[in-house]
Structure 1
Amino acid sequence: MAATPVEAPAPTGPLAAFVRFVVCGGGVGLLSSGAMLLASGHAPIALANAVVTVLSTLLATELHGRFTFRAGHARLADHLKSGLTATICYLFTTAALLVLHAVHPNPGPLLEQGVYLSASGLAGVGRFVVLRVVVFATGARAATAGTRPVGRKPLLTRRAVTVAA
């Protein structure tokens, strides 16, 4: 009799979720970069960037909902909240570059990229926390929907208790 393989459950802790967040976000970032190259020859760069940013945020939100946080299909509210976090990250990185140029009027490209990547990293960690705790918090989603997340055991269960007299 041959043993049937048992699929091990995927890791669900914060570190595993962060790795999935980086992989999904990085993959969408690379895809966006390619899309920008294709679109920039056919539309003004600002319009191409806006369209690619919106579409990549929608795609990343869906991926984060399904794979990163295992919360299922992203709802409209999830997309709106995620879009807000992306906007805040954009403002944060822009502010970091503006401050750099205010304190160092002619930074070299290495310093500028260092500041941008550092700000992007900090913004990304902040975005991960907000998406995990607020947007895709499985307990909050389950309470809102009146159900529990798929594959998760309920925290409290009702059990019949027999009392012997």
Structure 2
Amino acid sequence: METVREERQTAPGAFVAFARFVLCGGGLGIVSSLAVAGLAARVPWMLANAVITVVSTLLATELHARFTFGAGGRATWRQHVQSAGSAAAAYAVTSLAMLGLRAGVAEPGAMLEQTVYLSASALAGVGRFVVLRLLVFTRSRTDGATVRPAPSARPVPAGVTRTPVTGPALCRAA
């Protein structure tokens, strides 16, 4: 008899997924900041930031689909759009934090700016993790479910039909 081997990638637990999210997102954030600085030497900073943000969001979504959340393959267009929405929301949070800082402090020092920016980024990152884990890369109850064929039935002689027995008929005496 042949044994059927089932290969199903399981989603990592919340702690492992969060550690992977920080590793992928943080590493990509560092590379992106260097890329923005390098590209900004050739084009206006706003354009450099926009281009790098789009590229890094696409790359991050692929990394999160394949590695962070164990979705089992490439990200779908739906996941890319939802991820871009969560990235835009995170960008808005950090931008509002910096605007709030500048409104409250006339000339904030570099250390205060970094503290506010990194704190807002961390808060936005946690929110983004929750959105990506629970909404974007979630698995429905049927995802990964294996449909197995019914066990082989005994052969039915020619000319005989089977009638399924259900409900109370199972309890009736013959």
Tell me the TM-score normalised to structure 1 length. Answer: 0.77
Give the Å deviation of 1:33: 2.2
Partner of 1:123: 124
4+ residue runs over 4 A deviation: 155-160
The more displaced of 107-116 and 126-135 is 107-116
1:95 counterpart residue number = 96
Higher helix share: 1
Amino acid at match of 1:32: S
Distance 1:68 1:113, change over 3 A: same
1:60 is aligned to 60
Q: Identity of aligned pairs, percent?
A: 50
What are the ranges of 5 or more consecutive residues in structure 2 without an aligned counterpart? 1-8, 152-169
- 1:78 deviates by 0.6
1:38-77 matches, cutoff 5 A: 38-71=38-71, 72-77=73-78
Q: Displacement, 1:38?
A: 2.7
Quick check: 2:11–2:69 contact (8 Å CA) kept in 1? no
Which structure's CA Rg is the greater one? 2
Q: How far apart, in 2, do the equivalents of 1:81 and 1:89 lie?
A: 12
Aligned residue type for 2:51: V
Q: Which runs of 5+ in 1 are unaligned?
A: 1-8
Q: Secondary structure at the match of 1:139?
A: coil
- Aligned-residue offset at 1:37: 3.0
SS in 2 for 1:33: helix
Distance 1:126 1:115 in 2: 16
| CA apart distance, 1:156 | 10
> RMSD of the TM alignment (CA)?
2.7
Relative distance call for 1:128 and 1:157 in structure 2 (3 A) is farther
* Counterpart residue number, 1:35: 35
- Per-residue CA deviation, residues 29-86 of structure 1 (Å, 9 max, x unaligned), is 1221232233122211111111011000000000001100011210111111100111
2:165: which partner in 1?
A: none
Give the aligned partner of residue 24 of structure 2.
24
